Amino acid sequence: MNRRGAGIALLLVATILHSTHYLSAAIFGSGLSNWNRDLFSAMLQYVGPNLAIWGYAALGAGVAYLVWGEIGES
């Protein structure tokens, strides 16, 4: 796998981790009858920051690999 492929794969991983963070908070609060912004923020805090941190790390690595692949090409 070349650097571009690795970059795209890492961007896909970042997308999955980021969406899983929000989806898990939504599943956690699925039994509630009404929602608001503060309640959803509390659910996100309950889920924890680990998925978001790893998602941002994968995003940074993916962008770095894409840039490295483009610079190495020329």
| Local mean pLDDT, 10-residue blocks, the chain (74 residues) | 91 96 91 88 91 96 94 77
pTM for the full model?
A: 0.84
CB atoms inside a 10 Å sphere around CB 68: 14
**Confidence (pLDDT) at 43:** 92
Judge contact between 51 and 33, C-beta under 8 A.
no
Alpha helix segments (H runs only) across 1-74: 3-28, 37-47, 50-73
Distance of alpha carbon 70 from alpha carbon 74, whole angstroms: 7
Q: Can you give the pLDDT at residue 34?
A: 87
> Cβ(56)–Cβ(14) under 8 Å?
yes
* pLDDT value of residue 72: 81
